[in-house]
Amino acid sequence: MGTETERKFLVVSGEWRKNAKGTLYVQGYISTEKDRTVRVRIAGEEGFITIKGAPDASGISRSEFEYKIPKADAQQMLDTLCHGTKVEKTRYKIPFAGLTWEVDEFKGANAGLIVAEVELPSADHPVTLPPWAGAEVSHDGRYANASLSKIPYSQWKQDAKKCQTPKR
């Protein structure tokens, strides 16, 4: 069984941009139930379908099964099977302190939100935060991509927005 263990942080500065090259992601959700999500994604020129289970007791680990599918199939699923707002973002992979951080700069209805996540080998794995990582939002469901497809960042009340748009 595949397991995903990740922590998520708001991005508070643009320092991460040095030499960063990103890939455009467009994703949608076929299912966003409490105990499972089914996501379709196009990342660059590749299509994927991903099934994720409910978080475990740590709140940062859950089962995950991801499969490559033809891009045309992914596009058709995005166009016909997904509900809510499509989540659009550019993902940048940034190495830091022995781990690969994924910085997501959201576009469209979620523009203005920049979040960094780091995948870990275990829930208790130590993490050294890069200087551009701010508050942890791993346990704040609003920042889950599935949630952003239902209530995009642009619809949040101004006082509820925790992140600051970093200087470029």
Average of per-residue pLDDT across 26-38: 95
Q: What is the pTM of this model?
A: 0.90
CATH topology classification for 3-160: Hypothetical Protein Pfu-838710-001 (2.40.320)
Question: What are the boundaries of each domain within the chain?
Answer: 3-160
Question: For tokens 């499969």, what's the residue?
Answer: 67
Is pLDDT above 60 for 158?
yes
The DSSP result for 40-98, as a single string, is: EEEETTEEEEEEEE---TTSSEEEEEEEEE-HHHHHHHHHHT-EEEEEEEEEEEEEETT
Residue 29: active-site member: yes
pLDDT tens for each residue of 85-103: 999 999 999 999 999 999 9
The span from the CA of 46 to the CA of 23, in Å, is 11
Question: Catalytic pick from 25, 29, 92, 143?
Answer: 29
Q: Give the residue from 93, 114, 90 showing the smallest Cα distance to 19.
A: 93
Is pLDDT above 70 for 84?
yes
Mean pLDDT computed over every residue of the chain: 93
